[in-house]
């Protein structure tokens, strides 16, 4: 009898240890620690291979400026993916918002009143695009992949029509000066990204809207039965992402002093990659703003290190692809362990 009871005990002990390790790796603290370690290793690699060119303060600020624009888009993408959706049109929405905000008519109104008109225009265009995407998916019952793929083509084409495929130069006094300024040595663009990240974290983790987002992404039918208006919430998620795209367009206009139909190229891939690397499940139901921020910083730093070492864009793409695959495989493995 004692032998029978001893065998199960021996079998259960390794399982308990494994579940403890899985719980640690699957926890938010464990995932974020891994991301911090990865970022530190990238920085060490940058210092070793590029020396003072990488460690220079101006270069670090450049990394943060580059991360800020795609970071704002990625924060919005975190909400959509956590809610069980996907959006392939964010880059095109950024382009359309930038073009519409820099047309001669818009800049004329801005010159007569205030440059804030350009900001409102970009936010309005981005929010409207997100609203259309959400309505098509929630009420038109179009698959998110197809709906946003169609929006990608339509928004990019409309941006080309409006701009006549020409780059529009910003000539509004005060606009570039405001966004080129610094707050305690920190560029305004980076401050905006930080504020959006903090606001996104609070919205996702400390509000009813965030709890409903997790519920809709985890099990839409259960969320509906619990009294959540899943369709309306879906529209709100895509509208929120659209607003983030509009804000990112403003930041991109400020950084380049132009509006162009070519802006936002491959932003959808960069944003999704940052979100996945950060630990948000592609299947929905789990999302992390802090992880997304680290994911954005990792990819931006990686690109910077590659650029400083004169490595090709193709090599960067290969490296990013490999990282995404590893992240997804790790997600699947942790999901199977937690399920077991």
If one compares 90 and 321, the residue with the highest pLDDT of the two is: 90
Q: At what angle do helices 57-82 and 188-205 cross, to 10 degrees?
A: 30
Mean pLDDT of the chain: 87
If one compares 53 and 339, the residue with the highest pLDDT of the two is: 53
Asked if CATH classification 1.10.3470 holds for the domain at 51-303+312-333, the reply, yes or no, is: yes
Please list, in sequence order, all residues whose beta carbon lies within 8 angstroms of the beta carbon of residue 165, skipping any fewer than 6 positions away.
Answer: 261
pLDDT (tens digit per residue) in 198-253: 999 999 999 999 999 999 999 999 999 999 999 999 999 999 999 999 999 999 99
pLDDT of res. 22: 53
pTM assigned to the model: 0.88
- For residues 238 and 140, what is the distance between their CA atoms, to the nearest angstrom? 14
Give yes or no for a contact between 154 and 108, defined as CB atoms under 8 angstroms apart: no
What sign does the dihedral 102-106-110-115 (CA atoms) show? Answer: negative
Helix, strand, coil share of the chain (percent; to 5) = 80, 0, 20
Measured CA to CA in angstroms, residue 14 lies from 79, 244, 312, 339 at distances of 37, 46, 46, 17
If one compares 17 and 295, the residue with the highest pLDDT of the two is: 295
For the chain, the structural domain boundaries read 51-303+312-333
pLDDT of res. 25: 52
Give the rounded distance of the alpha carbon of 87 from its chain centre.
Answer: 11
């Amino acid at each position: 009898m004692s032998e029978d009871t001893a065998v199960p005990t021996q079998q259960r002990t390794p399982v308990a240890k494994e579940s403890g390790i899985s719980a640690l790796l699957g926890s938010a603290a464990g995932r974020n620690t891994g991301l911090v370690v990865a970022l530190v290793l990238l920085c060490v690699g940058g210092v070793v291979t590029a020396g003072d060119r990488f460690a220079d303060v101006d270069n670090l600020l450049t990394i943060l400026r580059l991360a800020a624009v795609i970071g704002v888009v990625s924060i919005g993408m975190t909400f959509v993916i956590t809610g069980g959706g996907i959006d392939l049109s964010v880059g095109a929405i950024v382009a359309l918002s930038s073009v519409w905000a820099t047309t001669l008519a818009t800049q004329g109104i801005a010159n007569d009143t205030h440059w804030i008109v350009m900001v409102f225009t970009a936010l309005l265009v981005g929010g409207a695009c997100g609203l259309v995407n959400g309505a098509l998916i929630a009420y038109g019952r179009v698959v998110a992949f197809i709906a946003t793929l169609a929006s990608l083509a339509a928004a990019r084409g409309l941006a080309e029509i409006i701009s006549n495929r020409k780059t529009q130069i910003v000539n509004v006094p005060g606009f570039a000066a405001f966004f080129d300024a610094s707050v305690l040595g920190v560029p305004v663009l980076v401050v905006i990204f930080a504020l959006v990240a903090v606001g996104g974290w609070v919205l996702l983790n400390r509000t009813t809207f965030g709890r409903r987002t997790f519920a809709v992404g985890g099990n839409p039918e259960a969320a509906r039965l619990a009294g959540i208006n899943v369709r309306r919430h879906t529209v709100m998620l895509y509208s929120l992402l659209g607003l983030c795209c509009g804000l990112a367009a403003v930041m991109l206009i400020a950084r380049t002093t132009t509006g162009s139909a070519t802006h936002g190229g491959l932003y959808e891939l960069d944003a999704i990659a940052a979100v996945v690397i950060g630990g948000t499940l592609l299947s929905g139901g789990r999302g992390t703003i802090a992880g997304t921020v680290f994911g954005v910083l990792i990819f931006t730093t990686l690109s910077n290190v590659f650029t400083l070492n004169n490595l090709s864009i193709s090599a960067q793409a290969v490296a990013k692809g490999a990282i995404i695959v590893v992240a997804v495989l790790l997600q699947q493995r942790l999901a199977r362990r937690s399920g077991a």
